[in-house]
Amino acid sequence: MRTLITSSYRTAAELLGKNHPVAFPTETVYGLGANAFESDAVKKIFTAKGRPSDNPLIVHVGSREDVPSVISSMPVYAERLFDAFSPGPLTLVLPKNKRISPLVTAGLKTVGVRIPDHRVAQKFLKACGVPVAAPSANLSGSPSPTTWQAVRQDLNGRIPCILKGDPSRVGLESTVVDCTGASPVILRAGGITLEELRGIVPSTRLHKQQTNVPKSPGMKYRHYSPLAYVFIVSSMEETVPMKSAAYIGLHTTRGASFGAKRICRNEKEYARALFRFFRECDAQGIQTIYCEQVSESGIGLALMDRIRKAAWQ
Ligand code: AMP
Ligand code: MG
């Protein structure tokens, strides 16, 4: 299959309308989208990515008016979260609308819905005119793509179209919040922080993962891993600097020489850079990537979650 790489959201939306999967940019990471009402189209996402079919997909819409076509009800606290953080990197899990394909939700009665805060994504979604189910546009298990080139690296020849855009601004996936109970529960940390959510709904809490009983099915899979071994270190002093090793973090020690090194100004920049750095290291044949540990507050919670999953061999 030839993969068309285009800047035309209209062309991309036309292909999606013919039940083809299409990769598109968002502020979190690039997504691989298909019409969420059409099982035949959704099936192609799982095939292209090699994604396990029991891992549900997030449904993306262009605006608040489109949300009722995806869900069947919404508690008042979820409306307040949506008002505060949408469009943005926040996915709310709510009771699903009947029209959504069961493949999207892996048979669950709930669906994750999100409005991306991204100019091209919004134009594309509006042109599609249907809710778009979209996981990250990478091969299952590899780091999520934050550039269209990363999508091409993983899915060239496996999907018919990549809609081009700028590198993703957030660089980590959305925060997934279960809104089916009495108060919000974070199933996956992401671009909107626990502190920000608590600023709107103070009772918001983190889900305590129990082994083998994942509330969010995606939790049980290995994720975000480069080919290199990832080690978490508290400072550069804990590393063995050499050409086949790489370092990413906030602090540097003079003299240490690595094959690749990225010192970020703050946690936000670290989050934006992480997945791209993983891919660059793999392309360079790096064997070991040292990631500096950061405090698990603010975006640091999502950042450490992704680093830990990448280090989980
Ligand atoms: P991805 O799109 O690859 O970033 O993964 C989406 C994440 O959202 C996975 O961890 C899913 O398990 C989770 N998710 C999507 N829909 C639901 C749902 N209905 N209930 C719980 N978790 C969900
Ligand atoms: Mg993913």
pLDDT digit string (tens) for 172-212?
Answer: 999 999 999 999 999 999 999 999 999 999 999 999 864 44
Q: Which CATH architecture has domain 4-206?
A: Alpha-Beta Complex (3.90)
CA distances from 291 to 51, 86, 222, 300 (A): 27, 31, 18, 13
Q: Give me the pLDDT at residue 78, please.
A: 98
- Alpha carbon nearest to ligand 1 atom 5, residue: 135
Q: Give me the pLDDT at residue 210, please.
A: 42
Neighbours of 201 (CB within 10 A): 18
Q: Which atom from ligand 1 is nearest to the alpha carbon of 217?
A: 12
Residues with CB under 6 A from ligand 1: 55-58, 93, 105, 108, 110-112, 135-136, 173, 176, 187-188, 216-218
> Is residue 215 pLDDT above 60, yes or no?
no
Q: Which atom from ligand 1 is nearest to the alpha carbon of 223?
A: 3
Are 19 and 33 in contact by the 8 Å Cβ rule? The answer is no
Q: How crowded is the C-beta side of 180, counted as CA atoms within 13 Å?
A: 17
Look at 241 and 179; give whichever has higher pLDDT: 179
> For residue 246, what is the DSSP state?
E
Q: Give me the pLDDT at residue 3, please.
A: 98
Domain boundary assignment for the chain: 4-206, 229-310
- What is d(CA 136, CA 114) in angstroms, rounded to the nearest whole number? 13
Per-residue pLDDT, averaged over 57-85, amounts to 97
Q: Which 3 state secondary structure label does DSSP give 161?
A: strand
The model's pTM is 0.95
> For residue 66, what is the DSSP state?
G
E strand or H helix that includes residue 199: helix 194-200
pLDDT digit string (tens) for 103-144?
Answer: 999 999 999 999 999 999 999 999 999 999 999 999 998 999
pLDDT digit string (tens) for 153-170?
Answer: 999 999 999 999 999 999
The highest-level CATH class for domain 229-310 is alpha beta
87 CA to centre of ligand 2 in angstroms: 20
pLDDT digit string (tens) for 279-301?
Answer: 999 999 999 999 999 999 999 99
- What is d(CA 46, CA 158) in angstroms, rounded to the nearest whole number? 11
